[in-house]
Structure 1
Amino acid sequence: MADVAALVESARQGAPRAVARLISLVEGASPQLREAMAAIAPHCGNAYVVGLTGSPGVGKSTTTSALVSAYRAQGKRVGVLAVDPSSPFSGGALLGDRVRMGEHASDPGVYIRSMATRGHLGGLAWAAPQAIRVLDAAGCEVILVETVGVGQSEVEIAAQADTSVVLLAPGMGDGIQAAKAGILEIGDVYVVNKADRDGADATVRELNHMLGLGEARQPGDWRPPVVKTVAARAEGVEEMIAALDKHRGWMDERGVLAERRAARAAKEIETIAVTALRRRMGELRGGKRLDALAARVAGGTLDPYTAADELVEGVTEGG
């Protein structure tokens, strides 16, 4: 068993091994996770969390690496969580992220961690916020959370981040896909990467048009900017960071940042509570209560809503 207090203290000093072991406790849902989260709680709440999402091939890892370089040039400690919502056996995103960000591997001011959600989108909601807490407590001033854009995971990444960045690339049909996937509702900053390609300006115009057709905004509301970058050459990265800084300032000024973080904490609490209830229900499934209720519903002597009420009452009262 790990000495949690010693691990947390080492992580607070920025020791990569300690940070890695704490995140492993998160991923493995270790019995020591409660103790670890209680120990790091007083040291959280300082990091700025930026979520990056987009379709495969738009250059998320390259953009993330460019952002890391820019933030490090400002002297900031940076954490990167590269989340793969597909199978942990695919290896694609996990290996690819490490290769593309390899230039930062020896930098003690950068911590990079790949996380697989093991085939379940809900895994992002379960593990990511607690891994973010670990990086926050370890002194990371900026945490970049990168995920493959596959519909629901885009919405989930928005729920984990202070600022959500949606990346697109010209010539990939991303503009039309953006409208279909509803990502126009989650982006705080839009980035058209690979802007040296033909069609970049058209993609920017289409995005701005779609954003203009969105919900009516009141004076002072945030209007997501569209930034052009060529991340492979670090072009446009400063403009992207300026957009992120502007959004953070806007949130601070209007109390939106505190609201988002409270909503994130509420979601985290809810996920932990629901997971615990599901575990209890799984235990009940092995018993006779659920089977008896199911037989009564199937036989027409009990309606499913009343049966569910009885099941919830049994779970919350300890069965």
Structure 2
Amino acid sequence: MDVATLVEQAREGRPRAVARLISLVEGASPQLREVMAALAPLSGGAYVVGLTGSPGVGKSTSTSALVTAYRKRGKRVGVLAVDPSSPFSGGALLGDRVRMSEHASDPGVYIRSMATRGHLGGLAWSAPQAIRVLDAAGCEVILVETVGVGQSEVEIAAQADTCVVLLAPGMGDGIQAAKAGILEIGDVYVVNKADRDGADSTARELNHMLGLGESRGPGDWRPPIVKTVAARSEGIDEVVEALEKHRAWMEEHGVLDARRRRRAANEVENIAVTALRERIGDLHGDQRLDALAERIITGRLDPYTAADELIESVTQA
């Protein structure tokens, strides 16, 4: 099927067409440039919410509860759930689809699991393009759930309009938050499993750490802390309310446009760096690279100057 037809069918909300487009993205298809060119004028309207946190805090359950809450408000919802890749097959466990099976028959919800394929940072490399597909397909809210690997998982802050950090009592998450850069990326904090002992102390500890680390002026956003029991949908409406307040604040202060510009700039940079890396990778065994290496080991050239020469030769080729 040609790209124009796929895009048209995706705009009509046909899940198979959306799946085909995301598969083209994941597989780095030769048609990827054509797909992105076709989607560019159709995207930009979706509100992207990232959900991150340590394994076991209830990210998938919270995502499912948020889908239900947004559907009650009449919103079309897309879910991008990033699973860790198998080191053997390269595929993802797709456990998030199992947890969100209650939404499988809802035509207003599209759920896609993606494998990281070895990419660090909690997201798949192709996540930005997959988000654009869901946006162009008419999803008004896109929930991006990260892997759940812990301290290296802050990449979601660069991909989402609003970043939700989930914690749970009894998991040492207070300490994890302090040392993982989590205090810098959260726009809304959720203490899930609040029916457990220690939920109040976890919220207090988090609030204290946010107070210690903040350098906010009058009118700046202060991340709220919401307690939930996602398995029973308790507190989820309050989370949605906090998300909408953050969105309104960003729109009022020009933060939303700034974040989206930064996101687009990061995407362009990543694509360009990847293309350059591939071109440099093709030089292994090339006489130019061998000649530079020879000059380095004989002391006639330093590695930084050699790198400059290599970049110049690659970009002019």
**TM, length-normalised to structure 2:** 0.96
Q: Hey, what does 1:285 align to over in structure 2?
A: 284
1:239 maps to 2:221: no
Output the CA distance in 2 between the equivalents of 1:62 and 1:70. 13
**Structure 2 portions without partners, runs of 5+:** none
2:269 corresponds in structure 1 to 270
1:183 pairs with 2:185: no
In 2 relative to 1, CA 228–92 (structure 1 residues): closer, same or farther, beyond 3 Å?
farther
- Taking the aligned partners of 2:20 and 2:175, their CA distance within structure 1 comes to 42
In the alignment, the residues of structure 2 paired with residue 159 and residue 277 of structure 1 have an alpha-carbon distance, to the nearest angstrom, of 22
> What's the counterpart of residue 160 of structure 2?
161
* Matched residue type, 2:246: H
1: CA distance between counterparts of 2:147 and 2:251?
28
Question: What is the number of residues matched between the two proteins?
Answer: 317
Q: 1:118: Cα distance to partner? A: 1.0
Q: Deviations over 1:137-185 (max 9, x none)?
A: 0000000000123346521111100000000000111111110112001
User: Is 1:125–1:156's contact at 8 Å kept on the other side of the alignment?
Assistant: no
Given the superposition, is the C-alpha separation of residues 224 and 93 from structure 1 closer, same or farther in structure 2, using an over 3 Å criterion? farther
Query: Retained in 1: the 8 A contact 2:117–2:124?
Result: no
1:202 aligns to what?
A: 201
Partner of 2:134 in structure 1? 135
**Aligned mates of 2:277, 2:91 — CA distance in 1:** 31
Q: Equivalent residues in 2 for 1:112-131 (5 A)?
A: 112-121=111-120, 124=123, 126-131=125-130
1:27 match: 26
- TM-superposed deviation, 1:93: 7.0
Gaps of at least 5 residues in structure 1 are none
Query: Shift of the alpha carbon at 1:125?
Result: 6.2
Letter in 2 for 1:254: H
Residue aligning to 1:296 = 295
Distance in 2 between residues matched to 1:145 and 1:263, nearest whole Å: 18
Aligned to 1:146: 145
CA distance in structure 1 between the aligned counterparts of 2:86 and 2:261, rounded to whole angstroms: 31
Matching residue of 1:47: 46
Displacement after TM superposition at 1:122 (Å):
6.3
**Distance in 2 (alpha carbons) for counterparts of 1:206 and 1:86:** 34
Three-state SS of the structure 1 residue aligned to 2:205 is helix
How big is the alpha-carbon RMSD for the aligned residues of Structure 1 and Structure 2?
Answer: 1.6
1:314 correspondence with 2:281: no
| 8 Å contact from structure 2 (residues 122, 156) kept in 1 | no
Percent identity of equivalent pairs: 83
Change (3 A) 1:146 1:210: same
After superposition, the C-alpha distances for 1:183-225 in whole angstroms (9 at most, x for unaligned) are 0010000000000000000000000000000132100011000
- Tell me, yes or no, if structure 1 residue 260 matches structure 2 residue 259: yes
User: 1:230 and 1:104, CA in 2 relative to 1: closer, same or farther beyond 3 A?
Assistant: same
**Offset, 1:90:** 8.2
For 2:257 and 2:298, how far apart are their aligned partners in 1? 51
Per-residue displacement from partner, 1:89-116 (whole Å, max 9, x unpaired)?
5899733211110000111100000001
Deviates more, 1:159-168 or 1:94-103: 94-103
Paired with 1:122 and 1:83, the residues of 2 have a C-alpha distance of 11
2: distance between equivalents of 1:163 and 1:10? Answer: 29
Does the CA contact (< 8 Å) of 2:49 and 2:164 recur in 1? yes
Instruction: Give 3-state SS (helix, strand or coil) of 2:171's partner.
Output: coil
Going from structure 1 to structure 2, the CA distance change for 1:208 and 1:98 (only over 3 Å counts) comes to same
- How much has 1:286 moved relative to structure 2? 3.6
SS in 2 for 1:145: strand
Distance verdict in 2 for CA 1:13–1:89, change over 3 Å = farther
Describe the shift of the 1:248–1:88 C-alpha distance in structure 2 as closer, same or farther (beyond 3 A).
Answer: farther
Q: For the structure 1 residues 63 and 92, does the alpha-carbon distance in structure 2 shift closer, same or farther, using more than 3 Å as the test?
A: farther
Larger CA deviation: 83-92 vs 14-23: 83-92
Match of 1:224 in 2: 223
Would you say the 8 A contact 1:87–1:117 is kept in 2?
no
1:260 alignment partner AA: R
